[in-house]
Structure 1
Amino acid sequence: MRIAEINDIASVATEIGGGLRARGHTVDYYYPRLVGAKLHPNIKPITGPLRALDWLDLIRRIRAGRYDLVHIHYAYLGNIGALGGFPYILHCHGTDLRGGTAFTRPLIANAIRQARHVFYSTPDLAGWVLPLRPDAEFLPNPVDTALFAPKTPPSAHQSAWVACALTEVKGAGRILRACRLLAETHPGLRIDAFGGGEYTAAFRELPNVTLYARHPRSRLPQIIDEHGIVIGQARLGAAGMAELEAMACGRPVVTWFNEQGAYAEPPPFLSAVDGDDIARLVGRLADDPALRDRAGAAGRAWVERHHAVDRVVDRVEAVARAIVRGEPIPAAPAA
């Protein structure tokens, strides 16, 4: 098959495309310019004419490529497929749905309805997608378990890494409280994070937190491996790539996970609802190196079973082949 991957969120398109190429399919990547992506949502509509020109150029190039199917990542970008009139799979990732505005919500709904099939990457997105597409499917994100792998055991490091952005949507306020509590109960515990987000200044004031400028993604496995504990998002209730990649690195992950029915086998996160829970669990892990190793090994094994690249590529390939052949979409295996 000839497949075009449009956009890339958390390297999902890269991982899937690489897996499809390894199976003999032709896969090309296209990256929209996303003009004005960092502007306030109420201001973004003024960039509409520039984005429209970019979309028209993408449509022209995709048509010239004579692809059998297009796989589009980020909900409203599905309108590239709708406008271009070619068959597409729409892959929703989170902010593309949760961050919808009065301007983008109709575009998102149109893109979802016109897609040949819809995937969503975290189970909490079901409430956003299923009312529009009851046949939409939760597809676990592919994790490169060869790249994200433990080089040292977590017991070798008594330090914590905050893997999520320091924003309200990620529950940074709860993590901030946890860090304040840990500064009192475990003053020797070093906590590191990337700066960025509305809570950055508050974290910078804490004596036990060190903030760093963002590094290239290629450095993430090493950064994770230099810490014994990972703190993930504390608000959304579902795991993203940051939490999954940390688990693949054999690190125990303290996060809020509230989607137990999404998997046939619940993930071994250390689930924490608020800042007090986070501080208690992180403190317990900091005090018990053997527990860090056991929890880390269990998480690594679970990711290998449920988020391996080949497993995800199997499903995308099966759906794509059915669409290209004009056949019904085969039933999805249990997550």
Structure 2
Amino acid sequence: MNRAARPVPVLHINDCAFTTTVLMREAGRRALPWEYLPLAVTEPSWRGATRVVRRALRGAGWEARLAGAARRADLLHIHFATVVRHAGWVPRPHVLHLHGTDARSYQYDRRLGPLVRRAIERADAVLYSTPDLAPHVDWRPDATLLPVPIDTTALPVWAPAERPRVVFASRWHEVKGLAVQLAVAELLSRRLGNDVELVGVDWGPGAGLARAAGVRLVPKADHATFQRLLATAHVVVGQPTGMLAASELEALGIGVPVVAPLHGPWYRASGAAIPPVLGGVDLGAAYALPSQDPTVPGARALERGEERVLAEGIATAVVGALGEPGGVSAGIDAAAWLAREHGSASAVDALLPLYDRVMAEREA
């Protein structure tokens, strides 16, 4: 079959951090023969014995939908390693897309580790979404970084609030460097007082501590509402763990200056482009960074003094950017960088030849 004559029909299973949503939107613009099947969801209201029965019925219905969708596809693109246990029975080649916790944490878990490692080993191709995952998949030498895709056409226009505002982009959780985020909030609150508003999302086990540190918390809302919140910021504080997630990338695409330390070795190992954030690799090299998961091999929890000096570096960069955020934004031109390195068009352009290669190798 001449694969160059037509795109490969692909079924995307699951969505993580809106990656599938963004890819499907771009595929729709190109009229590509891709479909998306979300996972079945267990309703929180289900209780007792009926919960087991309802889960079984919903699971059976989902597998029936999977079987029907798979008949229209030549290839599966499975998002998140543990999803393979639900979809691995389908007789189709598949691309496994690692999104973070699966490679960084579950791979080393006593119960889930064998499943995750087997999924990585048996996939026809492996993708990973962020540079920090590079050392966790280096045993699969052909694993490739697919930078988190962002639909730049859907981003709101930067419209900073009247009162200077600093927005914390991450949820208040240990995997997002919670202790350092709280220390940054405390420092900014003490230095800037009521002159600057600190804002974050009421999300994560540390949200109450963030509120106590001086952060005004807004309810967790839909994706578009969160993007509009980012667009009101004069400066965005990114997670201090050495890489950027989708939220920080979206802020860059909007044009907001983002302050975040970056771990240079991850970017070099993965071949990822260095994001134009304030602090960046220099800040990441100057201070020890918190582990995203203290349970993984080689992880080391930061000492209190290390957390404090990193927070000082971040807070200093934030205060500097608040002086002239528009000039800072224009100087780094992050929106153009994001469109080039993380635009949804670039992501689909990278996937099409990968799909062709997987099918050609299966048919050889």
Which TM-score tier does this pair reach, normalised by the shorter chain? 0.7 to 0.9
CA contact (8 A) 1:59 1:84 kept: no
State the shift of 1:167 in Å: 0.6
Q: Which amino acid aligns with 2:116?
A: I
Q: Which amino acid aligns with 1:257?
A: L
Seen in structure 2, the aligned counterparts of structure 1 residues 179 and 264 have a Cα distance that, compared at 3 Å, is closer
CA contact (8 A) 2:150 2:342 kept: yes
Seen in structure 2, the aligned counterparts of structure 1 residues 23 and 197 have a Cα distance that, compared at 3 Å, is same
Q: Which amino acid aligns with 1:32?
A: L
Instruction: Mark the runs of 5 or more structure 1 residues left unpaired by the alignment.
Output: 38-46, 330-335
State the shift of 1:189 in Å: 1.3
SS in 2 for 1:169: helix
- Aligned residue in 1 for 2:253: 248
Q: Which structure has more helix as a fraction of its residues? A: 2
Say how many residue pairs are matched: 315
Matched, 1:171 2:177: yes
CA contact (8 A) 1:162 1:232 kept: yes
**How many angstroms apart in 2 are the aligned matches of 1:155 and 1:88?**
46
**How many angstroms apart in 1 are the aligned matches of 2:229 and 2:87?**
38
State the shift of 1:322 in Å: 2.2
SS in 2 for 1:90: strand
Q: Which amino acid aligns with 1:256?
A: P
- Aligned residue in 2 for 1:239: 244
Seen in structure 2, the aligned counterparts of structure 1 residues 127 and 253 have a Cα distance that, compared at 3 Å, is same
Deviations 1:97-126 (A, max 9, x none): 223121111111111111111100001101
Q: TM-score, normalised by structure 2?
A: 0.79
Matched, 1:301 2:306: no
Matched, 1:79 2:79: no
**How many angstroms apart in 2 are the aligned matches of 1:316 and 1:148?**
23
- Aligned residue in 2 for 1:292: 328
SS in 2 for 1:84: coil
Seen in structure 2, the aligned counterparts of structure 1 residues 278 and 265 have a Cα distance that, compared at 3 Å, is same
CA contact (8 A) 1:156 1:228 kept: no
CA contact (8 A) 2:163 2:197 kept: no
- Aligned residue in 1 for 2:65: 61
State the shift of 1:264 in Å: 6.4
Seen in structure 2, the aligned counterparts of structure 1 residues 263 and 294 have a Cα distance that, compared at 3 Å, is farther
Deviations 1:5-49 (A, max 9, x none): 111111111111222233332222212135599xxxxxxxxx999
Seen in structure 2, the aligned counterparts of structure 1 residues 52 and 256 have a Cα distance that, compared at 3 Å, is farther
Alignment of 1:166-315 (within 5 A): 166-187=172-193, 188-207=195-214, 209-235=215-241, 237-258=242-263, 259-261=266-268, 262-263=270-271, 265-270=273-278, 271=280, 272=283, 273=287, 274-295=310-331, 297-315=332-350
Indicate the larger mover: 135-144 or 92-101. Answer: 92-101
Alignment of 1:83-102 (within 5 A): 83-100=89-106, 101-102=109-110
- Aligned residue in 1 for 2:294: none
Matched, 1:8 2:12: no
Seen in structure 2, the aligned counterparts of structure 1 residues 53 and 276 have a Cα distance that, compared at 3 Å, is farther
Q: Which amino acid aligns with 1:62?
A: L
SS in 1 for 2:39: coil
Indicate the larger mover: 106-115 or 59-68. Answer: 59-68
State the shift of 1:63 in Å: 2.9
Alignment RMSD (CA, Å): 2.7
Seen in structure 2, the aligned counterparts of structure 1 residues 173 and 225 have a Cα distance that, compared at 3 Å, is same
Seen in structure 2, the aligned counterparts of structure 1 residues 242 and 290 have a Cα distance that, compared at 3 Å, is closer
SS in 2 for 1:201: helix
- Aligned residue in 1 for 2:291: none
CA contact (8 A) 2:163 2:196 kept: no
Deviations 1:49-87 (A, max 9, x none): 987876665444333231111111111112334322321
Sequence identity percentage: 28
